[in-house]
Amino acid sequence: MFKQMTVREKMFTVIIATALILFTVSILMFTGVYDDLIFLRKVQGNTEPVSPAAIDRLTIAAQESFEVKEKFQTVDILEEHKQYANAEKVLNNILETDSASKSKQEIKIAKEGIILRLARNSFKAGWTDKSVAGYEQYLAMVPEDYDVQGEFAGVLLTAGRKDDSIAQYQKLTQIEADQVQWWVSLASAATSGYDGNAEDKQKYLVIARDALDKALSLEESPHIYNKLAQLSYWQDKPNQALEYLRKNPLPDLTEPKSCIVFAAAITSGAKHTKEEAAYVTALAGKVLALPDSSSELLGALARAMSQLKKTPLAINLFEKMVANHPSDQNIRLELANLLHNTGNYAQAEKHYEVLFEATKGPR
């Protein structure tokens, strides 16, 4: 059609199109939308330093003039820079300014998504009560979103509502009984913050055991076997713990929890092979050579070495623990008793004297 126009008509059409483009750009620049979009692109491309002033400008711009897509991109940037209050402002602005031109169904979907985004933003910010309320609001609208139900169970656990988290996971195991992840997550929630001295520990161990047994019936995996080994150790069943660990290759130092259970099972008198004794001894030597290791791992290996009559190695491991935590009297007492029981009386006396001085308290 353009080819059929006369030269004058073509020139007129080009002039009109150019005028419309210039008019549109002028309107955008006048309203600030153009500047805001250019600013957003600069921030996204890391060509604009994200200073506190830039964060404020980005937040205000998103509230005032951005389209929904750009506003969500702004939320991404604000969350990345831990500006959660600013991100909440933008999200609330989106929530309050649904376009009347959209259908009710579209607005409903948009609203649900924004409420979920607000809940997640609150969780990142550490506002657990607000986050829980947001998840509850979202799930009341979309109860069949099981992934978010699982996410919510994790939020409840983080918020210190262990029993509520367990109930949420139990609900999911009833809805999707063939999903291994819900059974394993239920077990993890039940044993979260495990305290061997707690009066109700048995209740949680039973929940975890039943969940892991169900998970194992659905899928055999190293992860499940490791969890069952840990649980068996907590239930004072070292032989069973070792049997579960044997389902997997021997743990190395990339799996410290499994190494701890492996060493603790041997310490507790589990029937082990010469090869397993040699392996845990080798682990102890490797840990001793590392510049930094957790006290839990050092302690488990030290006690295993004591059980295996590898006294010099056990002493060295305990000494490393004392060096790392000189004020921990329980560790020092273990070392002193080991030294005393193995005839190292002079060395034991030094540690007993330190403990005796500590019991005197301030003068």
Give Rg (Cα) of the chain. Answer: 31
Q: What per-residue confidence (pLDDT) applies to 33? A: 47
What is the rounded distance in angstroms from the CA atom of residue 360 to the CA atom of residue 109? Answer: 67
Residue 119 CA: distances (Å) to CA of 113, 134, 154: 10, 5, 13
Residue 135 backbone dihedrals phi, psi, to 5 degrees: -65, -40
**Model confidence pLDDT, tens digit, residues 28-73:** 444 444 555 556 666 666 665 667 877 888 888 888 877 788 888 8
Domain containing residue 244: 224-363
Q: What per-residue confidence (pLDDT) applies to 107? A: 56
Spatial CA neighbour of 156 closest among 103, 208, 119 = 119
215, pLDDT greater than 80: yes
Q: What per-residue confidence (pLDDT) applies to 166? A: 97
Q: What per-residue confidence (pLDDT) applies to 109? A: 56
Spatial CA neighbour of 232 closest among 221, 224, 222, 242 = 242
Query: Which of residues 269 and 145 earns the better pLDDT score?
Result: 145
Q: What is the CA 244 to chain-centroid distance, rounded?
A: 26
> Side chain identity at 149, as an amino acid letter?
Q
What is the rounded distance in angstroms from the CA atom of residue 166 to the CA atom of residue 316? Answer: 42
- The answer to whether residue 357 sits within a structural domain is yes
Burial class (CB in 10 A: 0-12, 13-18, 19+), 100: exposed
Percent of the chain topping pLDDT 90: 61
179, pLDDT greater than 90: yes
Buried b (16+ CB within 10 A) or exposed e, 315-346: bbbbbbbbeeeeeeeebbebbbebbeebebee
The dihedral sign for the CA sequence 137, 140, 144, 146 = positive
CATH number at residue 334: 1.25.40.10
What is the rounded distance in angstroms from the CA atom of residue 185 to the CA atom of residue 158? Answer: 13
**Model confidence pLDDT, tens digit, residues 86-105:** 999 999 988 887 544 455 45
Spatial CA neighbour of 128 closest among 116, 139, 119 = 119
Q: What per-residue confidence (pLDDT) applies to 41? A: 64
Which has the minimum average pLDDT: 8-12, 60-64, 158-162, 280-284? Answer: 8-12
Residue 4 CA: distances (Å) to CA of 7, 8, 50, 148, 339: 9, 12, 52, 59, 104
Query: Which of residues 121 and 14 earns the better pLDDT score?
Result: 121
Instruction: Copy the structure tokens of residue 336.
Output: 């002193």
Domain count along the chain:
2
Query: Which of residues 108 and 17 earns the better pLDDT score?
Result: 17
Q: What per-residue confidence (pLDDT) applies to 1? A: 53
- The answer to whether residue 40 sits within a structural domain is yes
Residue 186: CB atoms within 10 A of its CB come to 27
- The answer to whether residue 22 sits within a structural domain is no
**Nearest-5° angle of CA 225, CA 280, CA 338?**
120
Instruction: Copy the structure tokens of residue 19.
Output: 């005028």
- The answer to whether residue 133 sits within a structural domain is no
**Model confidence pLDDT, tens digit, residues 299-315:** 999 999 999 999 999 99
- The answer to whether residue 205 sits within a structural domain is no
What is the rounded distance in angstroms from the CA atom of residue 312 to the CA atom of residue 338? Answer: 10
Domain stops at, among 58, 81, 104: 81
- The answer to whether residue 16 sits within a structural domain is no
Mean pLDDT of 313-324: 93
Contacts of residue 123, Cβ cutoff 8 Å, sequence gap at least 6: 131, 155, 158
- The answer to whether residue 91 sits within a structural domain is no
Q: What per-residue confidence (pLDDT) applies to 14? A: 60
**Model confidence pLDDT, tens digit, residues 125-171:** 999 999 999 999 999 999 999 999 999 999 999 999 999 999 999 99
> Over the chain, what is the mean pLDDT?
86
Q: Residue with structure tokens 């302690």?
A: 299
- The answer to whether residue 312 sits within a structural domain is yes
Mean pLDDT of 73-78: 88
DSSP character string of 321-352? HHHH-TT-HHHHHHHHHHHHHTT-HHHHHHHH
Q: Give the DSSP letter of residue 1.
A: -
Spatial CA neighbour of 134 closest among 69, 124, 144 = 124
